[in-house]
Structures are given as C-alpha cells and as structure tokens.
Amino acid sequence: MSVVTNDGKNYIGVLKGLDQTTNIILSECYERVFSEIEDCEIFPLGLFIIRGDNVAVIGEVDDDKSAQVSFESIRAAPLKPIVH
C-alpha cells in the first residue's frame, strides 16, 4: 500500500490492519522523500502506524511495475501539506 499523509509524506508498506477511523498499520514500511535537487531518498521504518486523521490518500502498489522503476534516481518536487 502507498499512503500519502496530510503533511505530504509518502509511506509504502504491507497493510496489516486498519480500523473504523482509518488508523493504518503497515509492516515492512519505508518513507520515500522526494527532492528537486537530490535523488529520492528511502528511509526504512519497519512496523509503522499512521493515524487516520492524518491520511490523505491510500492506494495499492503494483509490485511488478514498482520493481521496474529506480526510485533512487527520480527527482520531483515534494508534496505540499494539505491546508484545511
């Protein structure tokens, strides 16, 4: 699963659980940090819990397509935080 949070962070991991308030538990989780100046950085986090009120977007990751992309060499503008 890919989870984008309200503060613009991008977490990737294996969905282990969620509840009625969209609190999410990801295992084998890592964060992708994008920058226009430097290559994409990947930070391993292990087991990670994301509060439901901080979740902006949830999506399924296609492992086959993701394996074909070298994210370490991608440069992109970071996502801006969501303002309510």
State residue 40's pLDDT score. Answer: 87
pLDDT of residue 79: 83
Q: Name the residue ranges covered by the structural domains of the chain.
A: 2-73
Which tokens is 35 given?
A: 């920058």
Task: Calculate mean pLDDT across residues 23-52.
Answer: 93
- pLDDT recorded at residue 64: 86
Amino acid letter for position 52? G
Burial class (CB in 10 A: 0-12, 13-18, 19+), 50: buried
Question: Mean of the pLDDT values across residues 16-44?
Answer: 92
The reported pTM is: 0.87
Question: What is the percent of the chain with per-residue pLDDT over 90, rounded to a whole number?
Answer: 58
Instruction: List all residues 6 or more positions away from 38 whose beta carbon is below 8 Å from its beta carbon.
Output: 75
Q: What's the topology of domain 2-73?
A: SH3 type barrels. (2.30.30)
**Residue 28: is its pLDDT beyond 90?**
yes
